[in-house]
C-alpha cells in the first residue's frame, strides 16, 4: 500500500470552498475545480507521502503554486506503476493496459462546464495521430486529442449535482420550445420537424449557420419571461437563464433546450458514454473515467472550441440520462458497475469499528476516505486513512480488509 496525494486543477469554473470544505479546510484563494488521483501523464498523483499527507497539497491550494513537482522522497503514481506493471496492475490488466486504466477525481463545478463530448478509442487514436502529424504541441490550447484513449465516465454525487446529458426526444423538445415565439425558436421547431434533432444541433453550433448573439439573447429572454406555472419545463428555462448570464450570446445556451436536464441526489450516479453530449452545471462529486483528457467542446466555455469535430463524433440518438443503480455486494459495500472494462466505483460505509471487513476487489485499487477514519490491511501492511486522505493498493497486495467508522469510495477494475 502506498499513501497517495492528488493534484489540483484550478480551472476557473471550480468552487473555492466545496472540496476544501469537505475535509474541514477554509476556502482556497484559487478555484479547486478538480483533484486528480490517477496516473495520467499530464498530472499524475504522487506516492511515498508521509502518514499525515492530505488528499491534495495544501501549499499548492493556499499559495497558488501550479504545477507542484514531487519532492525527492516522492514518486509519481505513473512512475511507480511503470517500474513494475505486472505487480502493480496485475497480469490481466497489465496485458491490456499501458498504465492505470482509470482516472479518479473529485470535481466541484461552481459554474457550468463546457458543452462537450468525449471520443471513442478509435476516434481518439485517429485524432491523436492527425494532430501529431500536424505538429500541434500536446499542451497547446487548440489541441483536441491529448492522448489515444476514450473517456467514458461515471459521476457519483456527494451533494446535489446538476447536469445536462444526452438529447431529449424530438416531441419533448418541441413541447419545451413551442411558445417562446422568437425567430430562432420557430426556426428550430421547423428544422426538427423536417430533418431531426441532429440537424437542429448542427444548425446551432456550426460556424456557418450559428445564430447571432441577438437571436440567442431573444430566446433566453423568452425563457426568463415564462411563468413557472405556465412553462412546460421551468427547469429548462432556469438553466437557459443561468447559462445566458454566464455566456451571453453563446449558441450553446439555446442548445441546452435540446438536452436532458438531470439532478443527482447524494449517493446517486450518472454514466456518460463516449459520444454523449453533456455539461456539468454545479455540485460536488467523485468522478471516475478511463485515463484520458480528451475533450471536444462546442460552447459554454472560454477554452478551445471545435464544433465541427464535436459534431463529427456526437451521438444524436435521443436517450434519457443513464443513472446506474449500485449493486450491494456486502453489508458495507455497494458497487456501481459501469458498462466498460476500465473502471468500477464502490461506496463503502463502515459502521462497526470492531469488525474487520473483507473488501471484494482485486487488481489496482484507489481508496479515498470521505468521512471518518479507517484502518486498511493488505499485503501484510496496515495503514490508517482519515477523512481527506487516499491510498493506492497495488494488485500484488492481494486481499484488502478495512475496519473503522465512516464513508469511503474505492476505485477498481472489473
Nearest to 11 by CA among 19, 3, 21: 19
Residue 162: partners with Cβ closer than 8 Å, 6 or more residues away: 261, 262, 263, 264, 280, 281, 282, 283
Alpha carbon distance 393, 360 (integer Å): 13
* Adjacent-strand bridge partners of 2: 392
> What is each CA distance from 152 to 25, 142, 272, in whole angstroms?
31, 22, 6
Please measure the distance between the N-terminal and C-terminal CA atoms of the chain and give it in whole angstroms: 20
Q: Give the residue numbers annotated as catalytic, written as ranges.
A: 297
Alpha carbon distance 262, 378 (integer Å): 39
CB neighbour class for 32 (10 Å; exposed up to 12, middle 13-18, buried from 19): buried
- Count the Cβ atoms, other than its own, within 10 Å of residue 179: 12
Residue ranges of alpha helices (H) inside 51-182 are: 58-63, 77-83, 85-89, 91-96, 121-133, 170-177
DSSP letter for 70, please: P
C-alpha cell at 116: 462537450
Residue 172: partners with Cβ closer than 8 Å, 6 or more residues away: none
Alpha carbon distance 269, 41 (integer Å): 27
* Residue 378 and residue 392 in contact, taking contact as beta carbons nearer than 8 Å: no
Amino acid at each position: 500500500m502506498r499513501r497517495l496525494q492528488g493534484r489540483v486543477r484550478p480551472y476557473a469554473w471550480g468552487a473555492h470552498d466545496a472540496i476544501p470544505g469537505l475535509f474541514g479546510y477554509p476556502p482556497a484563494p484559487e478555484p479547486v475545480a478538480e483533484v486528480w488521483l490517477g496516473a495520467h501523464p499530464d498530472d499524475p498523483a504522487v506516492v511515498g507521502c508521509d502518514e499525515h499527507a492530505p488528499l491534495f497539497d495544501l501549499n499548492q491550494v493556499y499559495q497558488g503554486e501550479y504545477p507542484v513537482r514531487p519532492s525527492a522522497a516522492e514518486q509519481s503514481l505513473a512512475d511507480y506503476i511503470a517500474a513494475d506493471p505486472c505487480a502493480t496492475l496485475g497480469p490481466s490488466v497489465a496485458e491490456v493496459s499501458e498504465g492505470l486504466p482509470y482516472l479518479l477525481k473529485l470535481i466541484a463545478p461552481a459554474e457550468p462546464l463546457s458543452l462537450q463530448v468525449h471520443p471513442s478509442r478509435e476516434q481518439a487514436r485517429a485524432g491523436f495521430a492527425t494532430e501529431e502529424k500536424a505538429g500541434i504541441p500536446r499542451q497547446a490550447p487548440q489541441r483536441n486529442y491529448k492522448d489515444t484513449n476514450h473517456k467514458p465516465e461515471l459521476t457519483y454525487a456527494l451533494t446535489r449535482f446538476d447536469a445536462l446529458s444526452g438529447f431529449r426526444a424530438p416531441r419533448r423538445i418541441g413541447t419545451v420550445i413551442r411558445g417562446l415565439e422568437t425567430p430562432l425558436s420557430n426556426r428550430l421547431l421547423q428544422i426538427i420537424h423536417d430533418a431531426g434533432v441532429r440537424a437542429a444541433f448542427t444548425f446551432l453550433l456550426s460556424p456557418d449557420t450559428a445564430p447571432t448573439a441577438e437571436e440567442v439573447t431573444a430566446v433566453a429572454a423568452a425563457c426568463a419571461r415564462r411563468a413557472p406555472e405556465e412553462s412546460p419545463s421551468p427547469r429548462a428555462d432556469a438553466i437557459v437563464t443561468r447559462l445566458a448570464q454566464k455566456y451571453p450570446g453563446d449558441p450553446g445556451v439555446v442548445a441546452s433546450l435540446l438536452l436532458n436536464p438531470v439532478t443527482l441526489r447524494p449517493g446517486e450516479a450518472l454514466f456518460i458514454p463516449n459520444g454523449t453530449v453533456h455539461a456539468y452545471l454545479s455540485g460536488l462529486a467523485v468522478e471516475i473515467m478511463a485515463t484520458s483528457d480528451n475533450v471536444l467542446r462546442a460552447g459554454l466555455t472560454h477554452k478551445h472550441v471545435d464544433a465541427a469535430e464535436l459534431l463529427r463524433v456526437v451521438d444524436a440518438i435521443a436517450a434519457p440520462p443513464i443513472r446506474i443503480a449500485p449493486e450491494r455486494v456486502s453489508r458495507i459495500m455497494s458497487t456501481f458497475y459501469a458498462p466498460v472494462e476500465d473502471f468500477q466505483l464502490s461506496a463503502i460505509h463502515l459502521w462497526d469499528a470492531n469488525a474487520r471487513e473483507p473488501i471484494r476487489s482485486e487488481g489496482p485499487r484507489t481508496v479515498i476516505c470521505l468521512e471518518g477514519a479507517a484502518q486498511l490491511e493488505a499485503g501484510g501492511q496496515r495503514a490508517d486513512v482519515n477523512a481527506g486522505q487516499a491510498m493506492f493498493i497495488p494488485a500484488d497486495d492481494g486481499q484488502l480488509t478495512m475496519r473503522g467508522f465512516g464513508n469511503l469510495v474505492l476505485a477498481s477494475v472489473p
